Structure 1
Amino acid sequence: MSQCCLQGFQWDGVPNGKESTLANNKAYTTGSNLDVAILVIPDLFGWTFTNERLLSDHYASEVDATVFMPDFFGGEVIPPEIISDHARLAAFDLTGWHARNAKEVRWPELLSCVQALRSQYKRVGVLGYCYGGWSSFRLGSKSHSPPLVDCISAAHPTWLTKEEMDDVGVPVQILAPEVDPAFTSELKKYANEVIPTKGMPYDYQFFPEVEHGFATRGNPGDEKERRAMVRGKNVQVAWMREWLHG
């Protein structure tokens, strides 16, 4: 991860869900479908970030699902105000954050939350942003038998490896901005060469002229970014509807 994972804009709006728990993790929950659930794995700003709570509300309503966005960062919350404070942004200790939230540290929590959903709901999807990119692929691995989830969607994934792409075993969608130091041109190329050979549905959505973080921290006052944000939300809704209700 790099500073791009902390840049962007805060959105206006009041989320309409509630705070609850999933497995042993606090979670933002919205929606009321008793059969279909979506796990949202947030970017660095975590489960309290208004932008991603507002997105979760959209998914609950437009997909017709119960949506859970847990705290996967041990209660640590990055103040969203840092987005517009260049001095605080530059001073933030990303290296320390990485160590506290490494894959091996958080994987048991990710796994237990999905297992809890799988035990309660008939269909389960995963939407991952940034940090949620690698973890959505890991949850959609073909090594899980039976599958833990029915489909995944990853927007501007971070820490995603070629090996994790090799191992995916459920319908997979990627939202890829043109400018992304985390999901590089090399990784984009690899995804589009390898994933189509895996024998499952694959949807690659390319977003020209926008940067890493556009789906959760884009500028609604910029027409180019606003259109990308809306399109991103719409294609994820369509993907989830297809595999969770189709």
Structure 2
Amino acid sequence: MEGYSSCCVQGFNWEGTPEGHETKLGEANTYVTGSNPDVAVLVIHDLFGWKFNNLRLLADHYAKEANVTAYLPDFFGGESLPFDIIADQARWGEVDIKGFIGKNTRDIRRGEIFAAAKALRAQYKRVGAVGFCFGGWAVFELGAKGVDLVDCIATAHPSLLTKEDIDKVGVPVLVQAPERDAVYTQELKDYSNKVIPTLNIPYEYHFFPGVEHVFAVRGNPKDETERKAMLRAKNSTVSWLKQWLHE
């Protein structure tokens, strides 16, 4: 289970009704929200998949506040972890994270993630990518030098990220790092801050004290520290997308 831990399934479900609709992006079932004909954002989900309400609500915010069309495709072949266990630590043991990840490795899912990005690149003038947890490694690959599929990337508490991914990034990158993260480790945080500033690309690293892995997508809105961190993460992602996707 390298690259993941029990913290990947913790958190809270948010209230709210998504405003977009379901369609297809290539072969992938996809949640779409927004109507900008020129600017798109590919949102790459965490372990709870494309139907997770919290992510759909975030996609709605990006669409409205950053003036983009946001796409949240299914990259788990119709499967996802059960939403109702998120806030029940006693049930975390029911989740076979190792087995689930074994069916959704980087090598297995890379092709369809790149296919989705290529479909957006063919249709839109500007494309960004935002990834959480599982989606973190993917946005770095999409934003690697020479790939030319996205114009900027943003990630919060990425999983499965490697130093090689960090070495290769070639587009403006926003990293949102919680204080406590067993997956995006202090070693990777330090490496990001050492290497990315040498790559001659715009880079912002935002540190979030008092919160932990998955805060940006599954924080507790009733906890003031977590609520403020979630709001800050959402706002900074919106600002990043506006800056790099709108000329």
TM-fit CA distance, 1:85 = 2.5
Q: Give the % identical residues.
A: 56
CA distance in 1: counterparts of 2:119 and 2:87, whole angstroms: 37
Aligned amino acid, residue 193 of structure 2: N
CA deviation string 1:155-187 (max 9, x = no partner): 000000000000001000100000000000000
The aligned residue for residue 227 of structure 1 is 228
The aligned residue for residue 85 of structure 1 is 88
CA distance in 1: counterparts of 2:245 and 2:189, whole angstroms: 26
The aligned residue for residue 218 of structure 1 is 219
3-state DSSP class of the match of 2:86? helix
TM-score (norm 2): 0.98
CA distance in 1: counterparts of 2:90 and 2:180, whole angstroms: 23
TM-fit CA distance, 1:43 = 0.6
TM-score (norm 1): 0.98
The aligned residue for residue 156 of structure 2 is 155
1:61 to 64, 71, 76: 64
Q: Is the 8 A contact 1:143 1:167 kept in 2?
A: no
3-state DSSP class of the match of 2:66? helix
CA distance in 2: counterparts of 1:239 and 1:136, whole angstroms: 14
TM-fit CA distance, 1:87 = 3.2
Q: Which structure 2 residue ranges, 5 or more long, are not aligned?
A: none
3-state DSSP class of the match of 2:17? coil
Name the Cα RMSD after superposition: 0.7
Q: Is the 8 A contact 1:39 1:68 kept in 2?
A: yes
Is 1:172 paired with 2:173?
Answer: yes
The aligned residue for residue 114 of structure 2 is 111
Aligned amino acid, residue 181 of structure 1: A
CA distance in 1: counterparts of 2:76 and 2:91, whole angstroms: 20
TM-fit CA distance, 1:235 = 0.3
Q: Is the 8 A contact 1:158 1:183 kept in 2?
A: yes
The aligned residue for residue 141 of structure 1 is 144
1:132 to 130, 135, 144: 135
Q: Which structure 1 residue ranges, 5 or more long, are not aligned?
A: none
The aligned residue for residue 54 of structure 2 is 51
Q: Is the 8 A contact 2:10 2:89 kept in 1?
A: no
Q: Is the 8 A contact 2:18 2:57 kept in 1?
A: yes
3-state DSSP class of the match of 1:110? helix
Q: Is the 8 A contact 1:37 1:65 kept in 2?
A: yes
TM-fit CA distance, 1:98 = 1.1
CA deviation string 1:40-78 (max 9, x = no partner): 001100100000100000000000000000000110022
Structure 1 runs of 4+ with >6 Å offset? none
User: Which structure 2 residues correspond to residues 166-205 of structure 1 after superposition, within 5 A?
Assistant: 166-205=167-206
CA distance in 2: counterparts of 1:91 and 1:184, whole angstroms: 25
User: Which structure 2 residues correspond to residues 14-29 of structure 1 after superposition, within 5 A?
Assistant: 14-29=17-32
Counting matched residue pairs gives 244
